[in-house]
Amino acid sequence: MEDTESSAWETLASPHGYPTLEADGVSFGFYSAEEMRRLSVKQVTTAVLHDAMNRPVAGGLYDPAFGPTDFNESCVTCGLDYTLCGGHFGHVELLLPTYSHLLFPLAFNLLRATCFECDHFRVSGASLRPIADVMALLDVGLMSDAAALSERRPQNKSSAGGEATHATSSMRSSLSRAARRYLRARAAGDAPSRRLGTCNSPHLISMRKAAYDRFANVLKGGSPACTHCGKVSGQLKVQGNYKLFCVPVSDRAKTKNAKLQRQERAASGTGAGGDTGGHQAETEREAEREAEREAEVE
């Protein structure tokens, strides 16, 4: 035991008697569900804390596996006494997916910018692609290329299709060869998934925050109609920090969405030709007329 402690101290201290290694940064994150299960020593399965004899209930929050609760007890997991055991993690299996309250504002902003018809962001991909490239370049330490790309903005924000793609390509042409090669590999799915050895300098942190702020501003500036499918989704309303409500779209938006859906079916061949397609289209038109009559009555 003494040899182990001395060897561990020798790796942390120099012959002069003071440590030669020290922490140069701190990062925070969230555990995944699988990581939580690996760290946990037991699953909490009941809300009952104590039984009739005031003893901790197995599977409760005071289960002995989580650590001793009495000064004269020892931990059944690590064997240490009350003063030395620091406690052990447990976990609760949730019946439904949930979110962390720390991430609720971010989740709300992302959902508010999402089209619920096609599950894409309502803004065009061409307006988000340069920001994604900046974040990717920052992750691998190409800060000068990320700065050059973030300073250049598309000349015409309303450009779409081939013009927007050409503008993005022209912005990439000014980058270094290493940056262009990495972005091409990333687009093809061959880029390394791990981050390269980069230090989180204050300048890098400020650049990443500026990219995130620009991303949030682009999402806020999206139109109610989706640029991908053209449909209109209901707006989200928040109550407190835990409830989300979707406001129904107007009758005009419902009519527009139904028209676009019929066009999609006709283009794919499922809504055109045959008696079945004509009958289905007639049924939809009748439903729209009925909705319009109800709106007029109201």
Residue-wise burial string across 14-47, b where 16 or more C-beta atoms lie within 10 A, e elsewhere:
eeeeeeeeeeeeeeeeeeeeeeeeeebbbeeeee
Tell me the percentage of the chain whose pLDDT exceeds 70: 72
CA distance 64 to 61: 9
Can you give the pLDDT at residue 104? 85
What's the rounded Cα separation, in Å, for the pair 199 and 24? 9
Q: Is the pLDDT of residue 59 over 70?
A: yes
27-31, 54-58, 146-150, 185-189, range with greatest mean pLDDT: 54-58
Q: How confident is the model at residue 77 (pLDDT cuts 50, 70, 90)?
A: very high
Alpha-carbon span 281 to 292, nearest angstrom:
17
Tokens of 242: 């835990």
In the chain, residues under CATH classification 4.10.860.120 are: 20-98
Kindly indicate whether the domain formed by 20-98 is annotated with CATH number 3.40.50.1240. no
pLDDT on residue 125: 83
Closest CA to 113 of 214, 212, 233, 231: 233
What is the per-residue pLDDT for 288? 61
Note the pLDDT of residue 166.
47
- Averaged confidence pLDDT in the chain: 77
- Rounded to whole angstroms, the Cα distance separating 112 from 105 reads 10
Least confident of 56-65, 237-246, 287-296: 287-296
Q: How many CB atoms lie within 10 A of CB 231?
A: 23
Please state, in angstroms and rounded to a whole number, the distance separating the CA atoms of residues 197 and 249.
48
Give the residue carrying structure tokens 């988000």.
128
pLDDT over threshold 90, residue 88: yes
Interstrand relation of 243-246 and 90-91 (parallel, antiparallel or unpaired): unpaired
